[in-house]
Amino acid sequence: MKILVPVKRVIDYNVRPRVKPDGSGVDLANVKMSMNPFDEIAVEEAVRLKEKGAATEIIAVSIGPAKASETLRTALAMGADRAILVETKEVVEPLAIAKILKAIFDEEQPGLVLMGKQAIDDDSNQTGQMLAALTSRPQGTFASKVEVEGDAVNVTREVDGGLETVRLQLPAIVTTDLRLNEPRYASLPNIMKAKKKPLETRTPTDFGVDIAPRLKVLKVEEPPVRQAGSVVGSVDELIGKLKDLGVVA
Amino acid sequence: MKVLVLIEHGGGTLKDASLATITAAAQLGQVHAILAGERDEARQAAEACAKVAGVEKVLLAADASYGQMLAENVAALIVPLMAEYDALLCNASSNGKNVAPRVAALLDVMQLSDVIGIEGERRFRRPIYAGNAIATVESTDPKLVITVRGTAFAKAADEGGSASIEEITGPGDQGLSTFVGCEESHSERPDLTSAKIVVSGGRALKDAATFEQVIVPLADKLGAAVGASRAAVDAGYISNDYQVGQTGKIVAPELYIAVGISGAIQHLAGMKEAKTIVAINKDADAPIFQVADIGLVADLFQAVPELTQKL
């Protein structure tokens, strides 16, 4: 079984995003970029499934600028076998990403697609569900456990109020949540080896997908700043304040 | 504009977040609601929904295939209905986030996620970058598919309405997925996303047993929901459904007590809409104090039990 793992190059998790003064977006010039953390979890899960013998090949895909090839190299260093970069300078929305992934899905015929539940830049949380819709396949979102069993996969999902397990017919699309695993660090020998793994570059037009955005971003602004209040010296003082505010009896 | 709202319900009652989504829908136009679920429960919830102020019509799809809100089945139910509507609104909950994008893709529409403000018929505000920026976006699609962040809208009144209920049948089970089971986090405490008071613990709580000993009694004393930072969840003190933050739940209670939480950006994104924030942390420089209304710089292992006892 092949596993397809879409990955996105995003602002590094530890960098505080700055809104551009002209309100046109977030400043990404000279900012550290990394693989979306949820996608890293997806790559790790794919590698573990291959190590267990449940998968034969892992194909990492990224849709983005030429530099997204670095993100793909990271996936290859973690254990993916080959990579596809769909290169574009444009910002591509989840719907168009899902359409490109659908075309790759049709070409590669994977048994499983593993991807992050959301990207930490636009926080959309849509692409996996959309890909599942377009391929008419089942979806297991927000996964904290993934078990392949014959022609199905059992996915334990992190839902409001607890955990829920669903059984999906393969091929299926699974999106990863935080607790699924802890991604490995790529070792230096594996980083060296990853440089020699195949990375194919294509473009959205190869797949006949129109990537023109459907949403117009009119402005991006800083959220309202919350003012710090006062510091109290003791628990008694704290209780006094809470009573003054009427939030406790 | 004709708006369809996907209602979430349980035990025959409506989820609070759905009442907030109805408020958002009413700002866009005429509101119809759809309820899907097992027969008796869904019927009871539909009757409750018909009484909600602002709802003009309730569509009821009572069928076992909708009992667990499997996205494959629910999306197949909703998509054909959308011929009659200009917009679909869902809660930005685990259910809504699961179903809405599947519907959006089938309608060839780009979804608007986590909407916190409505600026016009096609113009919305939504947080990006873990709430570090707010984007105003305009849809150019013929139909809208939106998930609504419940804490950003007031709840619609659960009485005053007199909508008609129309039973509908959908295509049923799509044969792609089956529900195996669930482990609900059993709790007598209020639901995290709708609680008036939330007591949250962070990494400083040391381990699961200490978390339970320190945080839970205070929450019980206050009738509060329990929350946690991502650091506490990652460290295994408590399960992920208690996580407050951009990658967890977004809460906006009257009172939020952050215990031993440093205040990482991603946590703040989940709780900074709280009316009053109290922070208890021994590190006076912790960023949480920059957003707290009342700060107490103290050892939580002394301060929290003292607070629990004296309240």
Question: Cα(A239)–Cα(B64) distance, rounded to whole angstroms?
Answer: 50
Which residues, 6+ apart, have CB-to-CB distance to B184 below 8 Å? Answer: A161, A162
> β-strand A172-176 against A199-202: which pairing, if any?
unpaired
> What pTM value is reported for the model?
0.92
| Mean of pLDDT values over B34-58 | 96
The confidence score (pLDDT) of residue B170 equals 93
| Contact state of A130 with B184 under an 8 Å Cβ cutoff | no
| Contact residues, A window 166-225, toward B, CB-based 8 Å cutoff | 166-169, 177-179, 213-223
**Residues forming beta bridges with residue B139, ordered by sequence position:** A215
* Helix A127-134 and helix B94-106, axial crossing angle in degrees, nearest 10: 40
How far B303 CA sits from the closest chain A CA (Å)?
A: 6
Question: Cα(B142)–Cα(A216) distance, rounded to whole angstroms?
Answer: 14
Q: Which positions of chain A have pLDDT values less than 50?
A: none
3-state class (DSSP) for residue A68: helix
Question: Residue A168's closest chain B neighbor by CA?
Answer: B177
The confidence score (pLDDT) of residue A15 equals 86
| Contact residues, B window 184-213, toward A, CB-based 8 Å cutoff | 184-185, 191, 193, 197
The larger pLDDT score, comparing residue A127 to residue B266, is at: A127
| Contact state of A138 with B177 under an 8 Å Cβ cutoff | yes
CB half-sphere exposure, B250, CA atoms < 13 A: 21
- Cis peptide bond upstream of B217, omega within 30: no
Q: Which candidate from B129, B233, B278 shows the least CB-CB separation from A121?
A: B129
Q: Which candidate from A162, A214, A233 shows the least CB-CB separation from B182?
A: A162
Question: Cα(A105)–Cα(A101) distance, rounded to whole angstroms?
Answer: 6
Question: Cα(A216)–Cα(B240) distance, rounded to whole angstroms?
Answer: 34
Q: Which candidate from A213, A228, A234 shows the least CB-CB separation from B289?
A: A228
Contact assessment for residue B150 and residue B92, using Cβ atoms and an 8 Å cutoff: yes
A244 close contact with B: CB closer than 8 A: no
The confidence score (pLDDT) of residue B186 equals 61
The confidence score (pLDDT) of residue A121 equals 94
| Mean of pLDDT values over B1-21 | 95
Residue B246 confidence (pLDDT) above 80? no
How far A114 CA sits from the closest chain B CA (Å)?
A: 15
B81 close contact with A: CB closer than 8 A: no
Taking CB atoms and an 8 Å cutoff, what residues of chain B touch A176?
none
Question: Among A132-136, B180-184, B225-229, whose mean pLDDT is lowest?
Answer: B180-184
Q: Mark out the alpha helices in chain B (DSSP H runs).
A: 16-28, 39-50, 71-81, 94-106, 208-222, 230-234, 265-271, 300-310
Whole-complex ipTM: 0.95
Question: Residue B307's closest chain A neighbor by CA?
Answer: A235
B75 close contact with A: CB closer than 8 A: yes
**Residues forming beta bridges with residue A149, ordered by sequence position:** A152
The larger pLDDT score, comparing residue A178 to residue B60, is at: B60
Contact assessment for residue B197 and residue A245, using Cβ atoms and an 8 Å cutoff: no
Contact assessment for residue B3 and residue B33, using Cβ atoms and an 8 Å cutoff: no
